[in-house]
Amino acid sequence: MRDTLPPLASLHAFVLVAETGSLTTAADRLNVTQPAISKRIRALEAHLGTGLVHRGANSVSLTEAGRDYAAALGEAFAAIRGATSAIGARPEGPLRIRAYTTWALRWLIPRLPRFRARHPGQEVEVTTSIAPVDFARDPVDAAIRSADHPPAPGAERLQVVDVAPYAAPPLARAARRLGLSGLTLLGSRVRPGDWEVWASATGHRLPGVPLLFESTSLAVQAALEGLGAVIVSPMLVAEDVRRRRLLPIAPGVVDTVDSYWLVMPPGRPRPALQAFRAWLLEEIAHDLSGGG
């Protein structure tokens, strides 16, 4: 016998006939005619040099060689189906999310273990940038942007950006007694006007010009070290407040009119991004319900 594999179409036809016991059913499964199935099996028998089926008037049955061959081929086709299913279920590479540094560090990344637990094997790569996203150029699947209106067609609102001032406990207690006078105000260059927005809404007079860091994360770290009071969204320091590393220095959480938005490319998103979006909205709803 030649050292070549029989045609796959003939093998598939024979396996279906062996499984169903019917040329007609096998033909229906493959969307071909019954004579086409018979032709494929005869070609396979000719290739092998042995008979595989007994043909009756209204039925077919396997020869002894046919039964042995069908059993081996059944295992082979099962392996092919399994391998094909595994390929289809395999994650399509890491999910690439671009976000602001502070939102990524203080809100998203601490929650990612919950996403991984729900979607094992689906990795999420997080990059940070304040630049607008261009899906035709940038290697990202989705971006988180902040703006007072949708930053792109189809952008989905995630969270309102509200702000309040916080400081390490000694400074916070002093500010509650003595007011803001003499207090170093900390903020970020990304959101330089938040102190003014908060002061205008709450009636406070600011003691000076805020010291601005490159990111809110750096400003928060400076506040944790006792360098001053930081203006920041409560959701980004919730864990620090819970552990009493930071405390509010005055009542009043102010809506800045900005929101965080999920921006995705046009068209139907890849399944991993659909799963990430659903999980993201669920986490946000959990926060809003008081789940923390």
In this structure, what CATH number is given to the domain that contains residue 13? 1.10.10.10
Q: What is the pLDDT along the chain (292 residues), one digit of tens a residue?
A: 455 788 888 889 888 888 888 888 888 888 889 888 889 999 988 888 899 888 876 678 889 998 989 888 888 887 877 666 555 555 578 999 999 999 999 999 999 999 999 999 899 999 999 888 898 889 999 999 999 999 999 999 999 999 999 999 999 999 999 889 989 999 999 999 999 999 999 999 999 999 999 999 999 999 999 999 999 999 999 999 999 999 999 999 999 999 999 999 988 889 999 999 999 999 999 998 876 5
Intra-chain end-to-end CA distance of the chain, in Å? 70
28 lies in the same domain as 159: no
How far lies 17's CA from each of 9, 14, 201, in Å? 12, 5, 79
Nearest to 112 by CA among 125, 102, 99: 125
Q: Pick from 57, 89, 121: which residue ends a domain? A: 89
Q: 239 lies in a domain?
A: yes
What is the β-pairing status of strands 60-62 and 53-55?
antiparallel
Dihedrals φ, ψ of 36, to 5°?
Answer: -65, -40
CA angle 109, 239, 215 (to 5 degrees): 60
Report the Cα 20 to chain-centroid distance in Å. Answer: 42
Q: 204 lies in a domain?
A: yes
DSSP conformational letter for 250: S
Q: 3 lies in a domain?
A: no
How far lies 279's CA from each of 20, 48, 158, 195, 269, in Å? 44, 55, 12, 32, 15
Report the Cα 146 to chain-centroid distance in Å. Answer: 19
289 lies in the same domain as 197: yes
